[in-house]
Structure 1
């Protein structure tokens, strides 16, 4: 057992909050946890490796919880799974050389998607089961997630919701696939740069596993329109922050 850092409880709390948001909204665990580690001085590659290792536990618990609450669509899960795993492996391998180049473009894309989600919350749009373009969506979402330490949920869940897919089913299915995304990325990191910061991984995992069933419950019971607004505002806020950071405004 590694020595526990003095802020071990802080990391547990961070893991709990990040997974609660991710389980309820289908996004933001990686972004939230990565932002904290980067702020504490952990290098980008180590940050992504640490967060994805912790997510192996939290996303596993989240996937089980969403399945128990009936939030997972098997067709959507199967269509996203294989391309997502391939994208995660490639993204983790290319992290050190390409990740920063894509960040502003992804942030701009997510900003637009967030605005569209908010607008759709106030417009009567018929729900439909999205069945097209799932392979490139899964691949790109996992690719960016592995390279940036987060992004799977904002990219994949946002796209599906904007296109009319049921919010609860989208969140549950995307969370279920995310377990395999994080597992593939973590194995790739382990084989390339190795895994350190085990005490942080353990703390994030503990907090996330505790929060997983609460997030899945929230995804099933939160009303549709407020849910979409919260998702959209979250995506806009995170994307705007990343763009401003890239432009060195703060």
Structure 2
């Protein structure tokens, strides 16, 4: 117990500068790995065409939402990629890979604008990474993420409605301490990896619902997401690999440009407006997920009974 307590004390003494250095080092490691893979590839790895800028626009739009609201990068980018004809497997792997770079820039931007509660960040990162690694392993080897998505979405609609109500009522209750942050981060990381998205909606929504400032919540959850995504992506790359560099590079370029803008908006938007917008985004993305699930199920039944 004494050793654990000493480790916790050391972790909570980590500075913003050390957090920023850790983000940069991990990003450089991943870049080095990609250079190694590309150097060993045969043929033309990058094949650009007119759709490349569509992927850049998707990355910009998705990261702008995520940086400003602390959620919905996976949901928005996956939905748009599928709409433009990218196969689901490639879309999911591409989004997770690109997210490492975009969340890294977003996290550094939130550090710059002081949108972060450092103690809460430490409490989220470790259990979140454990959950994300477990979820990535289950999805790669055992489970199918689509099975659990509708249940998560139904829960998020209820949670989004509560947040929206609080924003309209405009009587937020401030709490100094977020309860069960570690457990929340574990399940957020687990379900995000299994369901292809959900860290932001699950963790951000719950923490804001407890009364934490939306600005600090968004900045902290967004920065923690880098570490969760980094380790989950490592598992995905080991088991699944990545096939489409055109999609990944487009998402990265668009997201990197949008990340500082999103962080700036999060530091400037009115608290009540953030409550309302976060609530609406959670409800909308969760509703779209349920609609897509029902549509796919109806289509499957129609084919079976044709």
Contact 1:48 1:147 in 2 (8 A): no
Aligned equivalent of 1:128: 175
- The 5 Å alignment of 1:197-236 reads 197-236=244-283
Aligned-residue offset at 1:130: 3.5
Aligned-residue offset at 1:158: 0.4
Unmatched 5+ stretches in structure 2: 1-44, 300-306
Query: Which shifted more, 57-66 or 85-94?
Result: 85-94
Aligned-residue offset at 1:236: 0.6
Query: Which shifted more, 19-28 or 91-100?
Result: 91-100
TM score, norm. by length of structure 1: 0.95
Aligned equivalent of 1:105: 151
**For 1:229 and 1:239, how far apart are their aligned partners in 2?**
16
Aligned-residue offset at 1:47: 2.4
Aligned equivalent of 2:48: 4
Q: Does the C-alpha gap of structure 1 residues 39 and 130 become closer, same or farther in structure 2, counting only changes over 3 Å? A: farther
Work out which of the residue numbers 190, 195, 220 in structure 2 matches 1:143.
Answer: 190
**For 2:147 and 2:284, how far apart are their aligned partners in 1?**
21
Matched, 1:193 2:240: yes
Higher relative contact order at CA 8 Å, sep ≥6: structure 1 or structure 2? 1
Matched, 1:51 2:84: no
Work out which of the residue numbers 61, 65, 71 in structure 2 matches 1:21.
Answer: 65
**For 2:84 and 2:261, how far apart are their aligned partners in 1?**
28
RMSD of Structure 2 on Structure 1 (CA)? 1.5
Contact 2:178 2:210 in 1 (8 A): no
Cα deviations by residue, 1:34-56 (Å, 9 ceiling, x for unpaired) = 11223344444432221010011
**For 1:43 and 1:83, how far apart are their aligned partners in 2?**
31
**For 2:124 and 2:236, how far apart are their aligned partners in 1?**
22
Contact 1:23 1:62 in 2 (8 A): yes
**For 2:203 and 2:112, how far apart are their aligned partners in 1?**
22
Cα deviations by residue, 1:94-147 (Å, 9 ceiling, x for unpaired) = 225231221111000100011000101133132113332111111111111112
**For 2:124 and 2:72, how far apart are their aligned partners in 1?**
19
Contact 1:130 1:160 in 2 (8 A): no
Contact 1:54 1:201 in 2 (8 A): yes
Please give the secondary structure, in 2, of the residue aligned with 1:75: helix
**For 1:135 and 1:41, how far apart are their aligned partners in 2?**
38
**For 1:179 and 1:53, how far apart are their aligned partners in 2?**
11
Aligned equivalent of 1:115: 161
Aligned equivalent of 2:6: none
**For 1:208 and 1:186, how far apart are their aligned partners in 2?**
17
Work out which of the residue numbers 130, 148, 157 in structure 2 matches 1:86.
Answer: 130
**For 1:4 and 1:85, how far apart are their aligned partners in 2?**
34
TM score, norm. by length of structure 2: 0.78
Query: Which shifted more, 117-126 or 74-83?
Result: 117-126
Please give the secondary structure, in 1, of the residue aligned with 2:144: helix
User: Which ranges of 4 or more aligned residues in structure 1 deviate by more than 4 Å?
Assistant: none
Q: How many residues align?
A: 250
Matched, 1:153 2:195: no
Q: Does the C-alpha gap of structure 1 residues 119 and 65 become closer, same or farther in structure 2, counting only changes over 3 Å? A: same
Which one has a bigger Cα radius of gyration? 2
Q: Does the C-alpha gap of structure 1 residues 25 and 197 become closer, same or farther in structure 2, counting only changes over 3 Å? A: same
